[in-house]
Structures are given as C-alpha cells and as structure tokens.
Chain A
C-alpha cells in the first residue's frame, strides 16, 4: 500500500533559502532556473558487465551496469528479445534508503527509465531473437544509485543510456538447434537515445534538475522523456501537488529543448567507445 511519506526533515532556514531565492529567480548553487548541474559521464568502468556508465550529476552519482544473457521470450512476444530494467536505491546513497525489497520510489524510478527505453524503441528487440518462442537475448539494465543528491530519474536515465550505447555483446548463433555464443563481439545496436528531463515546481516556480534540498521542498515534479527526433516517449508526474495545464505545456517544450543538449553530452561521452 502506498502511504504519504514522512519526508526527511529539512532545516527551516534551508527551506526559506530555497523558496526566497526562487522568488528572486535564483538558486542556492547560483544556477539559472533551467540550468543542469555539471554532468560527467564515465563509461566502461565495470569490465565484467557488457556495458557500464557512471553518471555524476552535481553530487548525485548513479552507476548502471548492463548484463546480456540468453533466456526465454515472453509468450506474447515470441519474436523479441527482453528488456528488464531494475533500480536499486542502495543504502549507502542516503540516510533515507533502507535495505530490503524495492520501495515504491525504486519501482517508480525503474519503470520511468524502462518506459523511456522501451517506448523510444532504443533497443532492437526484434534483432535479439535467436529462436522464436524459445531462445532470445535478455538485456538487464541495473541502475545503481550510489549518492542521492536529487533528480535520480534524469541521472538514472542518462546512465542507463550511456551504458547501453557502450555495451558490447558476443553474437549468438543457432548451431544444430543449440543457441551458442560466438567469439564475435558487437555493440548492442542502440537505435534511439531517449533523454529524461525533470522539472520541479516550488511555490509556483518551475526549475530543472532539482537537487535534494530543492526536492524536499518541491510540490511536484514532471519528467518528460524525449527521443532523438524530439518526440515525447514517456512522461511521469510525481509528488503530492498539481500543475496547471500551462505549466505542463511549458515544461514539455523546455524539456524537449534541454533533452537535445543533454543528448549531445551523452554522445560526446560515448562516441567511439
């Protein structure tokens, strides 16, 4: 059952600072309302994974590892590989994360990242079928949140995409009815680049890329994931507040623009890797 969360306490002074500064169009870290924090992407840091990417978004750190395995397709899509996205809010990332079964926040995070990848058809699932109805390639995307300073959705989506873009897998072939791994190594053949951009609403102001202090005082957030053609492929509103329709329309336009800038950074960090 989902229940109203007990938010970790935020100091009155910090809360006032965030709100008062925003009223003047400023933020605690001197960013403009639509600025992102510094974004750094490192790829290939886990050699045992098929691909990996560590994203630093300000002080937020997310590591995604990709594992590719053979398995069975879903009965309703016998000719397609399988995409599985999971997110772990690792207890070392925040005082509010606890070990145990995934929280609703972790499930929401994984499902929003999943929808972006799935709906933009980033992964060529048709090409990942080896023997229809029997053997297909399963792509596991495991998002590992290591340090939580806000905006986990965007950092996770960037990290998942960067990891997928740099993933390599051994080609599978069917020999004498058996699916076998060859020695030939190839990229996954990612065919789209969905980028999630999250806007937060605080006291009627809209900002992008909220840090944790801003998330603790925000009323609601809106994530818009757009693909490389600027087409929206996933959206998610979160938080207990509401948006007016004008706020949503404006956030959508801004998110598509911002998505282009972030996509270029991801391309720069993954090209040729």
Chain B
C-alpha cells in the first residue's frame, strides 16, 4: 500500500480504535434470534452485524444434488445492499460466490453429516453491516446457528482474521485496518481437534510473520470458541428457566 493517510498505530502502540495489537473488537453473540429458522444466531463484532440461519436437515432440493451417504451442506454468504459505504448490488458477486464456497468448506468438517443421508442442511449468512472480517464473524455465527438447529456437530467452529499494519501483526482488523493494511489472514479453527478449516491470505507476509499471525489467530479462535459456548448456554439455560417458571406457575394454579 502507498503511504497511509492516517496513522494506524500511535506512539503508544495502540490502534485507531484504541485496541492493543492482539486485542479483539467487542463481540456480542446471541443464539435463537429468528422464529422460523430451525436454528439461528446473531453476531456483532466491532461494527459487523451478521445474522445466520440454518434450515434442515430437510429434503434436498433439487433432488439430484442429494448424496446417498451423507447430507448435502448448502451455504450462502450474502451482503445486504446497505451493508457497505456504497450500495452493493444484491446480485451475488464473485467474491460472495467464492466466500460461500470456502465458508461451506470451513463448516463441513464440523457437521456429522453421515447421520442424515439424502437430506440437505442449508446455511444462510446475511451481512447486515460489514466492518472487516465479516467472513470470519459469519462462520462464528453460522456454527452457532447449526448448534441451535440441533445439527450434531463434532465441534463448534470459531473464526478470526489477523492483519498486518505498519509492519506489525494485528488481531481482528477492522474495515479501515483491512483496507489500509498490508495483509489479511482469515482463519477458522476447531480447538479440540486442532483443525484449521479455513485459511486464506492476501497481502504480503514473510514466513515468520505468517507463523506469528497463525498463532495469534488460533489463540483468538480459542477465546471466541469459549464465547460461543457461553452464548449457547445462555440460550438454553434461559429456555430451561422459562420452562421451569411455567411449570411452577401451573403448579401454583392447580
């Protein structure tokens, strides 16, 4: 990149939004946010606002895509026209088509698809507002939606990107850091099995910088994975409490 007009790292080593180099943006996750979907989740990561929904396992459509020994996984990553500075055409771009593929591949390994032959499990990711790292936040949300749908999973997949700005490796770059920065390295990871299920890179990294970036991404994915499990617990503990309250009120009235 040519000389950035803004200083992305200040004299105290802090970033434009005041974060340290290895600090995540604030993350908020909520599970079970949509009524009609079999599973759903919402994530806010920085200014990212992303909704994920899962339908299925259900009948595969069109029928010829069905597989005899496992469920077909379908995935669509899509950005809302108003999610970026200049309106984006709602028609899927080549970028969205590529991301739909790599996101599906990032989630495939986590799903025990052999349990549902001839069916389809459909994953929809809608980016309502994009702020850098949206494919990763999308994967994090989609994995929660799969769990919420009751799809049997080997593990929950967490994802996070690493970037390079002003020669330094930084965690979870925001929109401006991504655009002005010198590299973007998104990673999806399942901690228990040490499985990297998505890895892309563009920019410029030496082998040493890459290894440092990969360490940082994996560490962040572990943290995000814990937050995912907390979000799932919140959802189901609150469901359980509601059920118990109903039970109590019924017992009181009888």
B17 to chain A, nearest CB (A): 23
Q: When the two chains form their complex, are residues A239 and B105 in contact, meaning their CB atoms are under 8 A apart? A: yes
Q: When the two chains form their complex, are residues A4 and B67 in contact, meaning their CB atoms are under 8 A apart? A: yes
In the complex, A244 has a CB within 8 A of chain B: yes
The answer to whether residues A243 and B97 also contact, given A3-B65, A3-B74, A232-B204 and a CB cut-off of 8 A, is no
In the complex, A248 has a CB within 8 A of chain B: yes
Q: When the two chains form their complex, are residues A2 and B199 in contact, meaning their CB atoms are under 8 A apart? A: no
A144 to chain B, nearest CB (A): 18
In the complex, A179 has a CB within 8 A of chain B: no
Q: Residue-by-residue, is B84-121 near A (CB-CB < 8 Å gives 1, otherwise 0)?
A: 00000000001101101111110011000100000010
Chain A hits for B197, CB < 8 A:
237, 241-242
CB nearest neighbor in B for A256:
B207
Chain A hits for B109, CB < 8 A:
240-242
CB nearest neighbor in B for A121:
B204
In the complex, A82 has a CB within 8 A of chain B: no
Give the distance in Å from the alpha carbon of A115 to the alpha carbon of B202 in the complex: 6
Chain A hits for B161, CB < 8 A:
none
Q: When the two chains form their complex, are residues A108 and B200 in contact, meaning their CB atoms are under 8 A apart? A: no
Contact partner of B196 (CB less than 8 A), chosen from A111, A120, A240, A243, is A243
Chain A hits for B205, CB < 8 A:
231-232
Contact partner of A234 (CB less than 8 A), chosen from B71, B103, B202, is B202
B110 to chain A, nearest CB (A): 9
Contact partner of B98 (CB less than 8 A), chosen from A108, A239, A240, is A108
Q: When the two chains form their complex, are residues A104 and B100 in contact, meaning their CB atoms are under 8 A apart? A: yes
CB nearest neighbor in B for A255:
B207
Q: When the two chains form their complex, are residues B204 and A233 in contact, meaning their CB atoms are under 8 A apart? A: yes
Give the distance in Å from the alpha carbon of A235 to the alpha carbon of B113 in the complex: 28
B54 to chain A, nearest CB (A): 13
Contact partner of A242 (CB less than 8 A), chosen from B97, B100, B113, B193, is B193
A213 to chain B, nearest CB (A): 20
* Best-surrounded residue of A4, A230, A236, A249 (most CB of chain B within 10 A): A4
Chain B hits for A253, CB < 8 A:
207
Taking residues whose C-beta sits less than 8 angstroms from the other chain, chain A's interface range is 35 or more
Q: When the two chains form their complex, are residues A1 and B75 in contact, meaning their CB atoms are under 8 A apart? A: yes
In the complex, A6 has a CB within 8 A of chain B: yes
In the complex, A245 has a CB within 8 A of chain B: yes
Q: When the two chains form their complex, are residues A237 and B104 in contact, meaning their CB atoms are under 8 A apart? A: no
B178 to chain A, nearest CB (A): 13
Q: When the two chains form their complex, are residues B211 and A244 in contact, meaning their CB atoms are under 8 A apart? A: no
The answer to whether residues A231 and B74 also contact, given A244-B195, A249-B214 and a CB cut-off of 8 A, is no
A160 to chain B, nearest CB (A): 16
In the complex, B201 has a CB within 8 A of chain A: yes
Chain B hits for A120, CB < 8 A:
204
Chain A hits for B104, CB < 8 A:
2-4
Q: When the two chains form their complex, are residues B210 and A252 in contact, meaning their CB atoms are under 8 A apart? A: yes
Chain A hits for B97, CB < 8 A:
2, 104, 107
Could you list 5 examples of A-B contacts with CB < 8 Å?
A119-B202, A119-B203, A234-B202, A237-B197, A252-B210
- Going nearest first, the 8 A-B pairs with the smallest beta carbon separation are A242-B195, A235-B201, A240-B108, A2-B100, A237-B199, A3-B74, A2-B101, A1-B76
Q: Can you add 14 more A-B contacts, CB < 8 Å, to A236-B200, A241-B109, A241-B197?
A: A2-B97, A3-B74, A4-B72, A6-B67, A104-B100, A107-B97, A107-B98, A108-B101, A120-B204, A230-B206, A232-B204, A235-B200, A239-B105, A240-B109
